[in-house]
Amino acid sequence: MGQYLACFKAYDVRGKVPGELNPEIARAIGRAYARQTGAKTVCVGYDIRLSGPELAEALTGGLNEEGTSVVDLGMVGTEMVYFATAAYGYDGGVMITASHNPPEYNGMKMVRQESRPISGDTGLYDIEKDAADILAGQVAPGGKSATNSKKDAYPDFVQHLLQVCPPSGLKGFKVLASPGNGAAGVAMEALMPHVPLQVTKMMFEPDGHFPNGVPNPILEESRAPVVEAMKTGQYDLGIAWDGDYDRCFFVDERGEFIEGYYLVGLLAQSILADNPGAAIIYDPRLTWNTLEIVEQHGGRPVMCKSGHAFIKEKMRAENAVYGGEMSAHHYFKSHWYCDSGMIPMLLTLRLMAQTGKSLGELVGGMMDRYPCSGEINSTVADVKATLAAVEAKYQGGEIDRTDGLSIEFQDWRFNLRGSNTEPVIRLNVETRGDKNLLAAKTEEILAIVRG
């Protein structure tokens, strides 16, 4: 079978079921995880996908064969595996999810002690090689004993959320909440009795058949029901989550979708109020608004390459309190440097309560000062050649290569970066308040990229 499996990616495991990921492969991954990490106790959770329980059972069997005991968390979100691993002191955790991929996919996100990520440069490829050898019959089972148990982590998880962001002052807010039939509905049901919010439920029932499509609110069609409902003016805030709710997305009181970029600045502002002078990590795709907000509120902005493994490592190195990516991943020191889809909701509502402003009022000035293109994807034959052609066109700007190619001019800047997994290049453009310039430069760069 060789040492490579199609379901192993740069940051996690993800593939079609059963062709690329099935119980046999899951069992081998369980054995390989145990052998490579030496973990004695690991927690396992899964999202709403129909293949989740079967893959979890097989993964558990593989872990047991190598002497690793398993704590079954049941149906949870990714951030709950992060929470349980760190809060209960387990040696590791595995979340079975394919996030926003189509229904026929599933996957795994793996962490070590303290919920430190396992990705391509921190052991994931070693697990892949070991799993392939196990599937090829080259590695005998360890034959050690292990015990399994079940754990309902929701009560402790809710208390953790309330400790990170006390709910005082939130009374009266009318929130439209849409898990999109993903796992966030279960977490919200556990949280709602403890927060003084008026929550209107939309697509709350967890359903792995995805009756309303796969929850991925970064796509216009996925968030459309929330946007339309918010336009009625009945609610103060609209929230939508992806399937495993490690990302949340915001729609303001007028029904306008708020790009994740502006949430980075907003959450930095909220957190710096309690942590003056702290480091804030941001990614290179869109930067000007974040830099302005962090500096205005006395923080220390630190740029980092995009990707959860890089952000988490940089946060630990800089002792940062918060890290944010425009892709709607938000990381918190108080959450073991991991991303959360629940904490951003509570922090945003708290800031609305503290300032007396709506979300639209809080971010409106940011959007006017630094309009952005949003991320635009293009399929290209050769990512490196495309980057070189664009760089040749824009001589004289300030170049940064932290992640792909960033070039900055006085009134506008852009970032162009290749995908880790496909022949796709991603463009982000922003200007200093000039929407006409934004449209012109976006079109100009795309003309080069797309030939």
Other Cβ atoms within 10 Å of 271 Cβ, number:
26
Long-range contact pairs involving 384-388 (C-beta distance under 8 Å, separation at least 24): 384/418, 386/416, 386/425, 386/448, 386/449, 387/416, 387/418, 387/425
CB neighbour list of residue 331: distance below 8 Å, 6 or more residues apart: 281, 308, 311, 312, 315, 322, 323, 324, 337, 338, 339, 340
Helix (H, G, I), strand (E, B) or coil at 311: helix
Tokens 């002052």 appear where? 169
What residue type is assigned to position 239 of the chain? I
**Dihedral of CA 235/164/216/444: which sign?**
positive
Annotated catalytic residues are: 99
What residue type is assigned to position 177 of the chain? A
Measured torsion, CA atoms of residues 194, 197, 198, 199, in degrees rounded to the nearest 10: -70
**In 144-219, alpha helices (H):** 154-164, 184-191
φ and ψ at 311, to 5 degrees?
-65, -45
Bridge partners (DSSP) of residue 302 are: 281
Tokens 């996957």 appear where? 107
Cα distance between residue 203 and residue 224, in whole Å = 13
Cis bond upstream, residue 179 (ω within 30): no
Closest to 48 (Cα-Cα) out of 149, 178, 185: 185
CB 333 within 8 Å of CB 320:
yes
Structure tokens at 314: 């940089």
What is each CA distance from 100 to 89, 246, 427, in whole angstroms?
Answer: 29, 11, 21
Q: How far is CA 43 from the centre of its chain?
A: 20
Per-position b or e across 194-227, b if 16+ CB within 10 A of its CB: ebebebeebbbebbbebeebbbbbbeeebbebbb
φ and ψ at 430, to 5 degrees?
-145, 155
